Chain A
Amino acid sequence: MSANPFCTTIAEQLNTGILILDLDYNIVEWNRFFAIHAHKDAKEVIGKNVFTAFPELPQKWFERKLSSVIQLNTQSFCSWEQRHHLFELSHTRPITTDSHFMAQNCTFLPIETDKVISHICILIEDVTDVCHYQTKLNKVLDELAKANRIDGLTQVFNRKHWEECLDKEFSRARRYDHGLALIMFDLDHFKLLNDTYGHQCGDTVLIETAQKISSLLRLCDQFGRYGGEEFAAILPETDLIGAVDVAERICKEIEKLVIKFQDKDIRISTSVGVATINPNDKRYEDLISNADLALYEAKATGRNKVCSAKEIEYILEE
Protein backbone atom coordinates (compact mmCIF):
# COMPACT_ATOMS: atom_id res chain seq x y z
CA MET A 1 0.00 0.00 0.00
CA SER A 2 2.88 2.35 0.68
CA ALA A 3 6.55 2.68 -0.11
CA ASN A 4 7.38 2.11 3.54
CA PRO A 5 7.71 -1.67 4.13
CA PHE A 6 6.51 -1.35 7.73
CA CYS A 7 3.36 0.45 6.62
CA THR A 8 2.65 -2.21 4.00
CA THR A 9 3.02 -5.04 6.49
CA ILE A 10 0.97 -3.32 9.16
CA ALA A 11 -1.78 -2.32 6.75
CA GLU A 12 -2.04 -5.90 5.55
CA GLN A 13 -2.02 -7.42 9.03
CA LEU A 14 -4.25 -4.84 10.68
CA ASN A 15 -7.66 -5.97 11.91
CA THR A 16 -9.14 -2.80 10.50
CA GLY A 17 -10.48 -2.39 7.00
CA ILE A 18 -8.83 0.25 4.82
CA LEU A 19 -10.39 1.54 1.62
CA ILE A 20 -8.93 4.47 -0.30
CA LEU A 21 -11.00 6.47 -2.79
CA ASP A 22 -10.07 9.26 -5.15
CA LEU A 23 -12.20 12.39 -5.28
CA ASP A 24 -14.45 10.85 -7.93
CA TYR A 25 -15.25 8.01 -5.52
CA ASN A 26 -13.21 5.45 -7.44
CA ILE A 27 -11.51 2.81 -5.33
CA VAL A 28 -7.75 3.16 -5.47
CA GLU A 29 -6.63 0.73 -2.79
CA TRP A 30 -7.82 -1.66 -0.12
CA ASN A 31 -6.12 -3.82 2.46
CA ARG A 32 -6.29 -7.52 3.20
CA PHE A 33 -8.86 -7.21 5.99
CA PHE A 34 -11.30 -5.40 3.70
CA ALA A 35 -10.72 -7.81 0.83
CA ILE A 36 -11.23 -10.92 2.97
CA HIS A 37 -14.44 -9.70 4.59
CA ALA A 38 -15.92 -8.30 1.39
CA HIS A 39 -15.53 -11.65 -0.43
CA LYS A 40 -14.82 -9.83 -3.63
CA ASP A 41 -12.08 -10.15 -6.17
CA ALA A 42 -9.68 -7.21 -6.55
CA LYS A 43 -10.75 -7.06 -10.22
CA GLU A 44 -14.32 -6.21 -9.18
CA VAL A 45 -13.16 -3.50 -6.82
CA ILE A 46 -9.89 -1.72 -7.61
CA GLY A 47 -10.39 1.07 -10.14
CA LYS A 48 -14.16 0.75 -9.88
CA ASN A 49 -16.58 3.35 -8.61
CA VAL A 50 -17.38 2.66 -4.94
CA PHE A 51 -21.13 2.54 -5.62
CA THR A 52 -20.63 0.00 -8.41
CA ALA A 53 -18.40 -2.20 -6.27
CA PHE A 54 -20.58 -1.85 -3.18
CA PRO A 55 -24.17 -1.26 -4.36
CA GLU A 56 -25.41 -1.61 -0.76
CA LEU A 57 -24.07 1.87 0.13
CA PRO A 58 -26.69 4.59 0.72
CA GLN A 59 -25.46 6.73 -2.16
CA LYS A 60 -26.91 10.11 -1.30
CA TRP A 61 -25.89 9.90 2.35
CA PHE A 62 -22.44 8.65 1.43
CA GLU A 63 -21.86 11.44 -1.07
CA ARG A 64 -22.95 14.09 1.41
CA LYS A 65 -20.63 12.59 4.03
CA LEU A 66 -17.67 12.52 1.66
CA SER A 67 -18.39 16.03 0.43
CA SER A 68 -18.01 17.31 4.00
CA VAL A 69 -14.65 15.56 4.27
CA ILE A 70 -13.46 16.98 0.94
CA GLN A 71 -14.86 20.48 1.34
CA LEU A 72 -13.94 21.02 4.98
CA ASN A 73 -10.78 18.90 4.75
CA THR A 74 -11.65 17.29 8.05
CA GLN A 75 -12.31 13.79 9.24
CA SER A 76 -15.78 12.41 9.74
CA PHE A 77 -17.23 9.45 11.61
CA CYS A 78 -20.09 7.02 11.50
CA SER A 79 -20.91 4.81 14.48
CA TRP A 80 -22.68 1.44 14.52
CA GLU A 81 -25.13 2.97 16.98
CA GLN A 82 -26.49 5.21 14.24
CA ARG A 83 -25.83 2.92 11.27
CA HIS A 84 -25.15 -0.74 12.02
CA HIS A 85 -22.96 -1.08 8.94
CA LEU A 86 -22.11 0.69 5.71
CA PHE A 87 -20.46 -2.12 3.79
CA GLU A 88 -21.94 -5.61 3.78
CA LEU A 89 -18.95 -7.43 5.24
CA SER A 90 -18.74 -10.74 7.02
CA HIS A 91 -17.43 -10.85 10.59
CA THR A 92 -15.60 -13.15 12.96
CA ARG A 93 -18.55 -14.17 15.15
CA PRO A 94 -21.09 -15.58 12.70
CA ILE A 95 -21.94 -18.46 15.06
CA THR A 96 -22.30 -16.82 18.44
CA THR A 97 -24.03 -13.56 17.48
CA ASP A 98 -27.20 -12.94 15.52
CA SER A 99 -25.58 -10.25 13.41
CA HIS A 100 -25.64 -11.05 9.71
CA PHE A 101 -23.13 -8.37 8.70
CA MET A 102 -20.18 -6.88 10.53
CA ALA A 103 -21.20 -3.98 12.79
CA GLN A 104 -18.91 -1.09 11.88
CA ASN A 105 -17.39 2.08 13.22
CA CYS A 106 -16.25 4.04 10.21
CA THR A 107 -13.79 6.92 9.99
CA PHE A 108 -13.40 9.04 6.88
CA LEU A 109 -10.00 10.70 6.62
CA PRO A 110 -8.92 13.32 4.11
CA ILE A 111 -5.54 12.52 2.57
CA GLU A 112 -3.47 15.43 1.27
CA THR A 113 -0.92 15.32 -1.51
CA ASP A 114 1.13 18.54 -1.67
CA LYS A 115 -1.21 20.23 0.82
CA VAL A 116 -4.27 19.64 -1.35
CA ILE A 117 -6.80 16.92 -0.59
CA SER A 118 -6.40 14.16 -3.14
CA HIS A 119 -7.95 11.04 -1.59
CA ILE A 120 -10.26 9.83 1.12
CA CYS A 121 -9.31 6.97 3.38
CA ILE A 122 -12.15 4.97 4.93
CA LEU A 123 -11.27 2.96 8.02
CA ILE A 124 -13.62 0.17 9.06
CA GLU A 125 -13.46 -1.24 12.58
CA ASP A 126 -15.24 -4.50 13.35
CA VAL A 127 -17.43 -3.74 16.38
CA THR A 128 -19.77 -6.73 16.05
CA ASP A 129 -18.69 -7.80 19.54
CA VAL A 130 -19.38 -4.38 21.07
CA CYS A 131 -22.68 -4.17 19.24
CA HIS A 132 -23.70 -7.61 20.42
CA TYR A 133 -22.96 -6.97 24.08
CA GLN A 134 -24.25 -3.40 24.07
CA THR A 135 -27.53 -4.58 22.55
CA LYS A 136 -27.78 -7.26 25.22
CA LEU A 137 -26.96 -4.74 27.93
CA ASN A 138 -29.56 -2.29 26.64
CA LYS A 139 -32.16 -5.04 26.66
CA VAL A 140 -31.33 -5.92 30.25
CA LEU A 141 -31.39 -2.26 31.26
CA ASP A 142 -34.79 -1.88 29.62
CA GLU A 143 -36.06 -4.93 31.46
CA LEU A 144 -34.63 -3.64 34.74
CA ALA A 145 -36.25 -0.26 34.23
CA LYS A 146 -39.52 -2.03 33.48
CA ALA A 147 -39.21 -4.33 36.50
CA ASN A 148 -38.69 -1.23 38.59
CA ARG A 149 -42.06 0.12 37.51
CA ILE A 150 -44.18 -3.00 37.35
CA ASP A 151 -45.86 -5.03 40.09
CA GLY A 152 -44.51 -8.54 39.64
CA LEU A 153 -47.82 -10.31 40.26
CA THR A 154 -50.40 -8.21 38.44
CA GLN A 155 -48.13 -6.61 35.80
CA VAL A 156 -49.65 -3.18 36.40
CA PHE A 157 -47.62 -0.24 37.79
CA ASN A 158 -46.24 -0.76 41.27
CA ARG A 159 -47.01 1.67 44.08
CA LYS A 160 -43.73 3.58 43.84
CA HIS A 161 -44.02 4.25 40.13
CA TRP A 162 -47.74 4.92 40.30
CA GLU A 163 -47.17 7.60 42.95
CA GLU A 164 -44.46 9.19 40.79
CA CYS A 165 -46.99 9.33 37.97
CA LEU A 166 -49.54 10.92 40.26
CA ASP A 167 -46.98 13.45 41.45
CA LYS A 168 -46.31 14.50 37.84
CA GLU A 169 -49.98 14.57 36.84
CA PHE A 170 -50.81 16.57 39.96
CA SER A 171 -48.24 19.29 39.21
CA ARG A 172 -49.29 19.35 35.57
CA ALA A 173 -52.97 19.73 36.48
CA ARG A 174 -52.04 22.54 38.90
CA ARG A 175 -49.83 24.34 36.41
CA TYR A 176 -52.28 24.29 33.50
CA ASP A 177 -55.43 24.36 35.62
CA HIS A 178 -56.59 21.06 34.19
CA GLY A 179 -58.94 18.54 35.78
CA LEU A 180 -57.58 15.38 37.43
CA ALA A 181 -59.46 12.46 38.95
CA LEU A 182 -58.38 9.59 41.14
CA ILE A 183 -60.19 6.28 41.54
CA MET A 184 -59.26 3.88 44.38
CA PHE A 185 -60.47 0.27 44.40
CA ASP A 186 -60.53 -2.15 47.30
CA LEU A 187 -61.71 -5.72 46.61
CA ASP A 188 -64.51 -6.73 49.00
CA HIS A 189 -63.98 -9.57 51.48
CA PHE A 190 -60.63 -10.44 49.96
CA LYS A 191 -59.27 -11.88 53.22
CA LEU A 192 -62.19 -14.29 53.38
CA LEU A 193 -61.46 -15.37 49.80
CA ASN A 194 -57.82 -16.06 50.71
CA ASP A 195 -58.83 -17.95 53.84
CA THR A 196 -61.42 -20.04 51.98
CA TYR A 197 -59.65 -20.90 48.72
CA GLY A 198 -56.00 -20.21 49.55
CA HIS A 199 -53.51 -17.58 48.45
CA GLN A 200 -53.10 -18.99 44.94
CA CYS A 201 -56.75 -18.28 44.34
CA GLY A 202 -56.30 -14.79 45.80
CA ASP A 203 -53.40 -14.20 43.41
CA THR A 204 -55.47 -15.33 40.42
CA VAL A 205 -58.24 -12.95 41.45
CA LEU A 206 -55.78 -10.04 41.77
CA ILE A 207 -54.31 -10.77 38.32
CA GLU A 208 -57.66 -11.06 36.56
CA THR A 209 -59.20 -8.08 38.33
CA ALA A 210 -56.20 -5.90 37.46
CA GLN A 211 -56.49 -7.05 33.83
CA LYS A 212 -60.19 -6.29 33.74
CA ILE A 213 -59.85 -2.80 35.20
CA SER A 214 -56.92 -1.98 32.89
CA SER A 215 -59.01 -2.96 29.87
CA LEU A 216 -61.76 -0.55 30.92
CA LEU A 217 -59.46 2.48 31.22
CA ARG A 218 -58.21 4.87 28.56
CA LEU A 219 -54.66 4.71 27.25
CA CYS A 220 -53.79 7.97 29.04
CA ASP A 221 -55.04 6.72 32.42
CA GLN A 222 -52.40 5.32 34.76
CA PHE A 223 -53.31 2.26 36.71
CA GLY A 224 -51.38 0.63 39.52
CA ARG A 225 -51.50 -1.68 42.50
CA TYR A 226 -51.63 0.50 45.59
CA GLY A 227 -51.38 -2.22 48.23
CA GLY A 228 -52.53 -5.80 48.92
CA GLU A 229 -55.96 -5.83 47.30
CA GLU A 230 -56.07 -2.11 46.62
CA PHE A 231 -55.72 -0.66 43.15
CA ALA A 232 -55.77 2.94 41.96
CA ALA A 233 -56.22 4.78 38.68
CA ILE A 234 -55.18 8.30 37.68
CA LEU A 235 -57.51 9.91 35.13
CA PRO A 236 -55.98 13.08 33.66
CA GLU A 237 -58.29 15.88 32.47
CA THR A 238 -61.35 14.21 33.91
CA ASP A 239 -64.06 15.81 36.05
CA LEU A 240 -66.03 14.20 38.85
CA ILE A 241 -69.01 13.22 36.69
CA GLY A 242 -66.75 11.54 34.14
CA ALA A 243 -64.71 9.76 36.79
CA VAL A 244 -67.79 8.50 38.69
CA ASP A 245 -69.17 7.26 35.38
CA VAL A 246 -65.99 5.25 34.71
CA ALA A 247 -65.94 3.99 38.31
CA GLU A 248 -69.58 2.81 38.15
CA ARG A 249 -68.90 0.97 34.91
CA ILE A 250 -65.83 -0.78 36.34
CA CYS A 251 -67.73 -1.64 39.55
CA LYS A 252 -70.50 -3.33 37.51
CA GLU A 253 -68.06 -5.18 35.26
CA ILE A 254 -66.14 -6.55 38.24
CA GLU A 255 -69.40 -7.77 39.74
CA LYS A 256 -70.13 -9.64 36.50
CA LEU A 257 -66.63 -11.08 36.28
CA VAL A 258 -66.37 -14.84 36.74
CA ILE A 259 -62.89 -16.07 37.62
CA LYS A 260 -62.11 -19.75 37.14
CA PHE A 261 -59.97 -21.30 39.84
CA GLN A 262 -59.55 -25.10 39.99
CA ASP A 263 -62.99 -25.76 38.40
CA LYS A 264 -64.61 -23.27 40.75
CA ASP A 265 -66.32 -20.09 39.61
CA ILE A 266 -65.18 -17.24 41.81
CA ARG A 267 -67.17 -14.01 41.93
CA ILE A 268 -66.02 -10.84 43.60
CA SER A 269 -66.97 -7.22 43.99
CA THR A 270 -65.12 -4.02 44.69
CA SER A 271 -65.71 -0.85 46.68
CA VAL A 272 -64.67 2.29 44.89
CA GLY A 273 -63.73 5.80 46.03
CA VAL A 274 -63.50 8.72 43.60
CA ALA A 275 -61.96 12.15 44.14
CA THR A 276 -61.01 15.03 41.88
CA ILE A 277 -58.39 17.68 42.35
CA ASN A 278 -59.75 20.68 44.25
CA PRO A 279 -58.24 24.07 45.05
CA ASN A 280 -57.54 23.05 48.65
CA ASP A 281 -55.27 20.19 47.62
CA LYS A 282 -51.71 21.28 48.16
CA ARG A 283 -49.96 18.01 47.52
CA TYR A 284 -50.93 14.91 45.59
CA GLU A 285 -51.23 13.11 48.92
CA ASP A 286 -54.29 15.28 49.67
CA LEU A 287 -55.96 13.85 46.59
CA ILE A 288 -55.19 10.31 47.77
CA SER A 289 -56.62 11.09 51.22
CA ASN A 290 -59.86 12.34 49.69
CA ALA A 291 -60.23 9.29 47.47
CA ASP A 292 -59.39 7.11 50.47
CA LEU A 293 -62.13 8.76 52.53
CA ALA A 294 -64.64 8.12 49.75
CA LEU A 295 -63.47 4.51 49.53
CA TYR A 296 -63.95 4.12 53.28
CA GLU A 297 -67.44 5.56 52.88
CA ALA A 298 -68.25 2.98 50.18
CA LYS A 299 -67.00 0.19 52.45
CA ALA A 300 -68.93 1.49 55.44
CA THR A 301 -72.19 1.88 53.54
CA GLY A 302 -72.50 -1.63 52.12
CA ARG A 303 -69.59 -2.32 49.71
CA ASN A 304 -69.80 -3.09 45.95
CA LYS A 305 -70.52 0.59 45.28
CA VAL A 306 -68.96 3.87 44.26
CA CYS A 307 -68.68 6.86 46.57
CA SER A 308 -67.17 10.18 45.62
CA ALA A 309 -65.39 12.77 47.75
CA LYS A 310 -68.03 15.37 46.82
CA GLU A 311 -70.83 13.26 48.33
CA ILE A 312 -68.90 12.93 51.56
CA GLU A 313 -68.44 16.68 51.81
CA TYR A 314 -72.17 16.95 51.24
CA ILE A 315 -72.93 14.40 53.94
CA LEU A 316 -70.52 16.04 56.36
CA GLU A 317 -72.07 19.46 55.73
CA GLU A 318 -75.58 18.09 56.47
Chain B
Amino acid sequence: MNNVNLNEDQQDCLQEIINVAMGQASDQLARYLDTFVYLKVPSIEQVSAQHLSDTLKYEAQSVAVVSQGFFGYEGIRGEALLMYQPKDSDRLADLLGYEPDELSVEEQIIDLSSILTTTFLNVFASQIDNQMSYSAPRLLFSSNADNNTSSQSSISEHIQHNSFNWDTALKVKISYQVTDYSFNCDMILLIPESAIINITSVIDRILEEY
Protein backbone atom coordinates (compact mmCIF):
# COMPACT_ATOMS: atom_id res chain seq x y z
CA MET B 1 0.00 0.00 0.00
CA ASN B 2 1.49 3.28 -1.12
CA ASN B 3 -0.84 5.67 0.61
CA VAL B 4 0.57 4.77 4.01
CA ASN B 5 3.99 6.17 3.15
CA LEU B 6 4.67 9.39 5.00
CA ASN B 7 6.10 12.21 2.91
CA GLU B 8 9.00 14.28 4.17
CA ASP B 9 6.84 16.96 5.79
CA GLN B 10 4.61 14.39 7.47
CA GLN B 11 7.60 12.48 8.78
CA ASP B 12 9.16 15.70 10.05
CA CYS B 13 5.96 16.75 11.75
CA LEU B 14 5.49 13.37 13.41
CA GLN B 15 9.11 13.44 14.53
CA GLU B 16 8.64 16.85 16.12
CA ILE B 17 5.46 15.79 17.91
CA ILE B 18 7.31 12.74 19.21
CA ASN B 19 10.24 14.93 20.26
CA VAL B 20 8.03 17.19 22.32
CA ALA B 21 6.19 14.22 23.84
CA MET B 22 9.48 12.54 24.62
CA GLY B 23 10.76 15.70 26.29
CA GLN B 24 7.72 16.20 28.49
CA ALA B 25 7.48 12.51 29.36
CA SER B 26 11.15 12.45 30.27
CA ASP B 27 10.67 15.49 32.48
CA GLN B 28 7.85 13.75 34.35
CA LEU B 29 9.94 10.61 34.61
CA ALA B 30 13.00 12.48 35.78
CA ARG B 31 10.96 14.10 38.55
CA TYR B 32 9.25 10.84 39.50
CA LEU B 33 12.41 8.75 39.47
CA ASP B 34 14.56 11.61 40.74
CA THR B 35 17.11 11.21 37.99
CA PHE B 36 18.05 12.58 34.57
CA VAL B 37 16.94 11.00 31.33
CA TYR B 38 19.23 11.47 28.36
CA LEU B 39 17.31 12.05 25.13
CA LYS B 40 18.29 10.90 21.65
CA VAL B 41 16.60 11.62 18.33
CA PRO B 42 13.88 8.99 17.89
CA SER B 43 13.90 6.92 14.73
CA ILE B 44 10.83 6.51 12.56
CA GLU B 45 10.64 3.94 9.82
CA GLN B 46 8.13 1.87 7.94
CA VAL B 47 8.46 -1.88 8.31
CA SER B 48 6.77 -4.73 6.51
CA ALA B 49 5.34 -7.61 8.50
CA GLN B 50 7.84 -9.88 6.79
CA HIS B 51 10.79 -7.81 7.88
CA LEU B 52 9.65 -6.94 11.35
CA SER B 53 11.62 -9.74 12.90
CA ASP B 54 14.71 -8.67 10.92
CA THR B 55 14.45 -5.09 12.04
CA LEU B 56 14.13 -6.32 15.60
CA LYS B 57 17.33 -8.36 15.30
CA TYR B 58 19.34 -6.07 17.47
CA GLU B 59 16.60 -6.10 20.05
CA ALA B 60 16.78 -9.88 20.01
CA GLN B 61 19.44 -9.75 22.71
CA SER B 62 16.86 -8.41 25.12
CA VAL B 63 16.13 -10.43 28.22
CA ALA B 64 12.67 -9.09 28.62
CA VAL B 65 10.00 -7.63 26.39
CA VAL B 66 6.80 -6.05 27.63
CA SER B 67 3.91 -5.29 25.32
CA GLN B 68 1.15 -2.78 25.95
CA GLY B 69 -1.61 -1.87 23.54
CA PHE B 70 -2.84 1.71 23.17
CA PHE B 71 -5.86 3.18 21.48
CA GLY B 72 -7.28 6.65 21.11
CA TYR B 73 -9.94 8.50 19.15
CA GLU B 74 -9.84 8.84 15.35
CA GLY B 75 -8.61 5.27 14.93
CA ILE B 76 -5.20 5.85 16.40
CA ARG B 77 -3.91 2.68 17.95
CA GLY B 78 -0.88 0.46 18.16
CA GLU B 79 1.32 -1.60 20.37
CA ALA B 80 4.26 -0.50 22.47
CA LEU B 81 7.14 -2.90 23.04
CA LEU B 82 9.59 -2.19 25.83
CA MET B 83 12.91 -3.99 25.52
CA TYR B 84 15.39 -4.53 28.31
CA GLN B 85 18.98 -5.68 28.06
CA PRO B 86 20.45 -8.17 30.56
CA LYS B 87 22.68 -5.72 32.41
CA ASP B 88 19.81 -3.35 33.07
CA SER B 89 17.32 -5.57 34.85
CA ASP B 90 19.39 -5.56 38.06
CA ARG B 91 19.15 -1.80 38.36
CA LEU B 92 15.39 -1.61 38.08
CA ALA B 93 14.40 -1.88 41.71
CA ASP B 94 16.88 0.84 42.57
CA LEU B 95 15.38 3.05 39.90
CA LEU B 96 11.78 2.51 40.93
CA GLY B 97 12.47 2.99 44.61
CA TYR B 98 11.48 -0.47 45.77
CA GLU B 99 13.28 -2.59 48.30
CA PRO B 100 15.13 -5.46 46.58
CA ASP B 101 12.82 -8.24 47.74
CA GLU B 102 9.62 -6.25 47.72
CA LEU B 103 8.68 -7.38 44.24
CA SER B 104 9.93 -9.65 41.50
CA VAL B 105 12.08 -8.55 38.57
CA GLU B 106 9.16 -9.29 36.25
CA GLU B 107 6.88 -7.01 38.19
CA GLN B 108 9.46 -4.22 38.19
CA ILE B 109 9.93 -4.52 34.44
CA ILE B 110 6.19 -4.40 33.83
CA ASP B 111 5.77 -1.47 36.19
CA LEU B 112 8.46 0.63 34.55
CA SER B 113 7.24 -0.28 31.06
CA SER B 114 3.78 0.91 31.86
CA ILE B 115 5.13 4.17 33.23
CA LEU B 116 7.33 4.78 30.17
CA THR B 117 4.58 3.93 27.69
CA THR B 118 1.73 5.83 29.30
CA THR B 119 3.65 9.00 30.18
CA PHE B 120 4.95 9.28 26.62
CA LEU B 121 1.69 8.47 24.87
CA ASN B 122 -0.38 10.71 27.16
CA VAL B 123 1.71 13.72 26.09
CA PHE B 124 1.75 12.55 22.49
CA ALA B 125 -2.03 12.28 22.50
CA SER B 126 -2.61 15.66 24.12
CA GLN B 127 -0.52 17.31 21.39
CA ILE B 128 -2.81 15.96 18.70
CA ASP B 129 -5.94 16.68 20.77
CA ASN B 130 -6.49 13.03 21.45
CA GLN B 131 -6.69 10.83 24.50
CA MET B 132 -5.22 7.37 24.94
CA SER B 133 -6.45 4.29 26.70
CA TYR B 134 -4.23 1.34 27.44
CA SER B 135 -4.46 -2.39 27.79
CA ALA B 136 -2.73 -4.00 30.73
CA PRO B 137 0.99 -4.48 30.03
CA ARG B 138 2.08 -8.06 29.41
CA LEU B 139 5.44 -9.69 29.69
CA LEU B 140 5.90 -11.37 26.29
CA PHE B 141 9.18 -12.93 27.01
CA SER B 142 11.65 -12.98 29.82
CA SER B 143 14.72 -15.11 30.13
CA ASN B 144 14.47 -14.74 33.91
CA ALA B 145 11.17 -16.56 33.93
CA ASP B 146 12.54 -19.14 31.55
CA ASN B 147 12.41 -22.58 33.08
CA ASN B 148 12.94 -24.69 29.99
CA THR B 149 16.31 -25.48 28.51
CA SER B 150 15.63 -24.13 25.04
CA SER B 151 16.36 -20.62 26.22
CA GLN B 152 17.32 -19.57 22.71
CA SER B 153 13.88 -18.13 22.06
CA SER B 154 13.99 -14.41 21.50
CA ILE B 155 11.74 -11.58 20.52
CA SER B 156 12.41 -12.08 16.82
CA GLU B 157 11.48 -15.75 17.14
CA HIS B 158 8.47 -14.81 19.17
CA ILE B 159 7.34 -12.48 16.40
CA GLN B 160 8.21 -14.94 13.66
CA HIS B 161 5.87 -17.47 15.16
CA ASN B 162 2.90 -15.23 14.66
CA SER B 163 1.20 -14.65 11.37
CA PHE B 164 0.06 -11.07 11.10
CA ASN B 165 -3.05 -9.55 9.72
CA TRP B 166 -1.21 -6.44 8.54
CA ASP B 167 1.32 -5.72 5.80
CA THR B 168 3.03 -2.55 6.89
CA ALA B 169 3.59 -0.92 10.24
CA LEU B 170 5.14 2.31 11.38
CA LYS B 171 7.97 1.68 13.79
CA VAL B 172 9.01 4.42 16.16
CA LYS B 173 12.00 3.72 18.34
CA ILE B 174 12.82 5.77 21.38
CA SER B 175 15.83 5.06 23.55
CA TYR B 176 15.75 5.95 27.20
CA GLN B 177 19.01 6.38 29.01
CA VAL B 178 18.93 7.10 32.69
CA THR B 179 22.30 8.53 33.62
CA ASP B 180 22.31 8.14 37.39
CA TYR B 181 21.66 4.43 37.16
CA SER B 182 23.32 3.89 33.75
CA PHE B 183 20.12 2.21 32.77
CA ASN B 184 18.93 1.79 29.17
CA CYS B 185 15.69 0.69 27.65
CA ASP B 186 14.19 0.93 24.18
CA MET B 187 10.58 1.73 23.53
CA ILE B 188 9.29 0.61 20.16
CA LEU B 189 5.88 1.74 19.03
CA LEU B 190 4.34 -0.29 16.26
CA ILE B 191 1.41 1.29 14.51
CA PRO B 192 -0.52 -0.90 12.04
CA GLU B 193 -1.25 0.45 8.59
CA SER B 194 -4.91 1.29 9.09
CA ALA B 195 -3.88 3.47 12.02
CA ILE B 196 -1.05 5.09 10.01
CA ILE B 197 -3.63 6.47 7.60
CA ASN B 198 -5.49 7.96 10.55
CA ILE B 199 -2.33 9.45 12.00
CA THR B 200 -1.44 10.87 8.60
CA SER B 201 -4.72 12.75 8.40
CA VAL B 202 -4.15 14.17 11.88
CA ILE B 203 -0.64 15.24 10.84
CA ASP B 204 -1.97 16.87 7.66
CA ARG B 205 -4.37 18.89 9.77
CA ILE B 206 -1.48 20.14 11.89
CA LEU B 207 0.64 20.88 8.82
CA GLU B 208 -2.17 22.96 7.32
CA GLU B 209 -1.75 25.39 10.17
CA TYR B 210 1.76 26.15 8.96
Contacts and interface: CB of A to CB of B under 8 A. Distances in A.
A and B touch in the complex (CB under 8 A): yes
Interface of A: 58, 60-61, 64-65, 68, 71-77, 79, 81-83, 105, 107, 142, 145, 149, 161, 164
A73 B107 contact: no
Given A61-B98, A75-B118, A76-B114, 9 more contacts: A60-B99, A60-B102, A61-B103, A65-B111, A71-B28, A72-B118, A74-B115, A77-B136, A77-B137
28 contacts: A61-B102, A64-B96, A64-B97, A64-B98, A68-B32, A68-B111, A71-B28, A71-B31, A71-B32, A72-B29, A72-B32, A72-B115, A72-B118, A73-B122, A74-B115, A74-B119, A74-B122, A76-B111, A76-B115, A77-B134, A79-B110, A79-B136, A79-B137, A79-B138, A82-B110, A107-B136, A142-B147, A149-B149
Contacts of B148: 145
B192 to A, nearest CB: 22
B165 interface: no
A247 to B, nearest CB: 26
A107 to B, nearest CB: 7
A81 B103 CA distance: 12
Contacts of A65: 111
Nearest to A68: B115
B104 interface: yes
A128 B28 CA distance: 36
Contacts of B136: 77, 79, 105, 107
What range describes how many residues of B lie at the interface? Answer: 20 to 34
B187 to A, nearest CB: 14
Given A68-B115, A83-B107, A75 B28 contact: no
Contact of B104 (A73, A74, A82, A107): A82
A164 B97 CA distance: 42
B94 to A, nearest CB: 13
B138 A72 contact: no
Among B104, B134, B136, B149, the most chain A Cβ lie within 10 Å of the Cβ of B136
B144 to A, nearest CB: 13
A113 B170 CA distance: 35
